[in-house]
Amino acid sequence: MPEQTFILNGEPVTVDVEDDVRVLWVLRDILGVKGPKYGCGINVCKACTSHINGKAFNPCAVPVGKLGAKDEITTIEGLPGEVPESERGEHGLHPMQESWLDNDVAQCGYCQPGQIMAAVALVKKVRAEGRTITDGDLDGIRNICRCGTYTRIREAIREGEQRM
């Protein structure tokens, strides 16, 4: 089988797997990284949302053969490592994760890793555009929450943006 090399949460990884296997299965089934959740598998629910080179993407929709050795995948497990220790909160987590805890966002929790990864990517995107998050930006988040935590998600993102 072909060798696939990419960077996962700051470390290079190499796996033996066919090119057309989706990145979500490589993460979960081969590398044991379970933060990105399997919801639909067809790029709709966004439960698997992670980052590729700092931008949100859905690993259920990307074949692993498309990744290059320099592509950086970050999952919720690697999110705290994106900020210096001094900027992590009382639980040692990324500021957005700390905001999630303070706002008691999660119900069943299944969608929440994807929601947090979408939130961080959104803050980075609007900062790069020289602005802050608007209601329209929040309306544009497509991550589905079966438990209906949308109001608290929006509050946590607003607060997390201030902390980042």
Chain residues binding ligand FES by CB under 6 A are: 38-41, 43-48, 58, 60, 106-112, 145-147, 149
Q: Are 47 and 37 in contact (CB under 8 A)?
A: yes
> Minimum Å distance from CB 38 to ligand FES?
5
Indicate the residue among 145 and 156 with the shorter CB distance to ligand FES: 145
Indicate the residue among 47 and 122 with the shorter CB distance to ligand FES: 47
> Minimum Å distance from CB 45 to ligand FES?
4
Indicate the residue among 111 and 123 with the shorter CB distance to ligand FES: 111
Annotate the chain with three-state secondary structure: CCEEEEEECCEEEEEECCCCCEHHHHHHHHCCCCCCCCCCCCCCCCCCCEEECCEEECHHHCEHHHCCCCCEEECHHHCHHHCCHHHCCCCCCCHHHHHHHHCCCCCCCCCHHHHHHHHHHHHHHHHHCCCCCCHHHHHCCCCCCCCCCHHHHHHHHHHHHHHC
Length in residues, the chain:
164
> Minimum Å distance from CB 29 to ligand FES?
14
Indicate the residue among 69 and 108 with the shorter CB distance to ligand FES: 108
> Minimum Å distance from CB 157 to ligand FES?
14
Unique residue bearing structure tokens 């990105």: 36
Q: Are 17 and 5 in contact (CB under 8 A)?
A: no
Indicate the residue among 29 and 87 with the shorter CB distance to ligand FES: 29
> Minimum Å distance from CB 132 to ligand FES?
25
